[in-house]
Amino acid sequence: MVKLKVGILFGGPSEEHPVSVKSAREVAGHLDAGKYEPVWIRISQDGDWELCDGPGAEHGSPVVLSPDGLLVLSDGKYEVIRLDVVLPVLHGRFGEDGAVQGLLELAGVPYAGCDVTGSALCMDKSLTYLVVASAGIATPKHWDADENPGEFTYPVFVKPARSGSSFGVSKVLRAEDLPDAVEAARQYDEKVLVEEAVVGSEIGCSLLGDGSDLITGELDRVALSHGFFKIHQEENPESGSENSAFIVPADIPAAARALVLETAKAVYRALRCRGLARVDVFLKEDGTVVLNEVNTLPGLTSYSRYPRMMAAAGLPLGDVLDRLISLALKEKTR
């Protein structure tokens, strides 16, 4: 059996570089060695691309992606490695925002996950809300941070419009604390949003597939002991969150579960998602659902929500990777 050469992109120049490395390590442990030959491509925090032996490597041979394949540079010469498909295991800026997706499309290499349009729409929270609201789905009230703060009703959340893993997010209780929160968010993105604080349970839905044929994992509920949910912010997240636990399956009524699933699928389709995504919503006490955010390349670490929800539905990470790669190759033939 001829193995498919799967280029696995990991690392990247965003603040989520360490998380991406952890996700890649988990992929390494679950990718079927009988079907696939992994080609590990590390992107450094400076943006350099290197061919390496695996996700534990810190250095490798310089490489360049081209329409001819992956060009490995050595002693003034290069060899070509042709990739059958690319699996981007990247999070945040330059991984989830359409940038690397556009590069892969220019090179003519099929890749797993959302395309340029879906990635860009989901990365920018204000665009996400605009598209989703036009589809009739509730979103939080939100404003550009440069608007008059006198219009805000506190508490509010201040967050970078295009970042992930809760980096730069603050809960603001008083108007006098708003400027510092905006400045903290601007460390990650010049575009900053101020959002109303939606009161409700945080529910996640993992999705896998294309717009017409979707598989969903079990829903989860984020159970908070205090504060607000911040993923990947702990010193040792593998040992658990300092203020939250995850209940899978989510302990919510059957009617609420059905509504969350229906809403998550509608969000996924409205934003032109494909491959995979995690849609997070708020379930309010009155039974209504409000979108929180969409992650088009959710974490795949040992403690991440997406693989946990899929596994609870009977789909382990190895099977998820199989389906993602098959979907990417299917897109190539369309």
Per the CB < 8 A criterion, the answer to whether 194 and 156 are in contact is yes
Q: Residue range 141-165: average pLDDT?
A: 83
Q: For 137-152, how does the pLDDT look when each residue is reduced to its tens digit (9 = 90+)?
A: 999 999 988 876 667 7
Q: Please name the amino acid found at residue 36.
A: Y
* Alpha-carbon gap, residue 169 to 164, rounded angstroms: 9
Q: For the chain, which residues make up each domain, given as ranges?
A: 4-111, 120-139+199-332, 142-196
Task: Output the pLDDT for position 149.
Answer: 60
Q: Which residues lie across from 275 on neighbouring strands?
A: 209
* Alpha-carbon gap, residue 99 to 223, rounded angstroms: 34
Q: For 297-319, how does the pLDDT look when each residue is reduced to its tens digit (9 = 90+)?
A: 999 999 999 999 999 999 999 99
User: For domain 142-196, which CATH number applies: 1.20.1600.10, 3.30.1330.30, 3.30.450.20, 3.30.1490.20?
Assistant: 3.30.1490.20
Whether 195 has a pLDDT exceeding 90, the answer reads yes
Task: Output the pLDDT for position 225.
Answer: 60
Q: Does 3.40.50.720 match the CATH number of domain 4-111?
A: no
Tokens for 245, please give them.
């636990």
Ramachandran bin of 8, using left for φ above 0, alpha for ψ from -120 to 50, beta for the remaining angles: beta
DSSP 190: S
Per the CB < 8 A criterion, the answer to whether 121 and 127 are in contact is yes
Whether 156 has a pLDDT exceeding 80, the answer reads yes
Per the CB < 8 A criterion, the answer to whether 27 and 243 are in contact is no
Residue 205: band (very low, low, confident or very high) from pLDDT cuts 50, 70, 90: very high
* Alpha-carbon gap, residue 104 to 145, rounded angstroms: 34
Which residues have a catalytic role annotated? Answer: 19, 22, 91, 232, 238, 278, 299, 303
Q: For 69-123, how does the pLDDT look when each residue is reduced to its tens digit (9 = 90+)?
A: 899 988 878 899 999 999 999 998 889 999 999 999 999 999 999 999 999 999 9
Q: Residue range 4-21: average pLDDT?
A: 94
Report the SS3 class of residue 318. Answer: helix
> Which of 21-35, 243-257, 288-302 is least confident?
243-257
Per the CB < 8 A criterion, the answer to whether 203 and 281 are in contact is yes
Superfamily of domain 120-139+199-332: ATP-grasp fold, B domain (3.30.470.20)
pTM (predicted TM-score): 0.91
Mean pLDDT over each residue of the chain, to the nearest integer: 91
Report how far apart, in Å, the C-alpha atoms of 205 and of each of 23, 46, 51, 190, 326 are. 19, 33, 34, 29, 22
Q: Where are the beta strands (DSSP E) in the chain?
A: 4-11, 36-43, 49-52, 61-66, 69-74, 77-81, 85-89, 142-144, 156-160, 170-172, 192-196, 201-209, 214-216, 220-224, 244-247, 275-283, 289-295
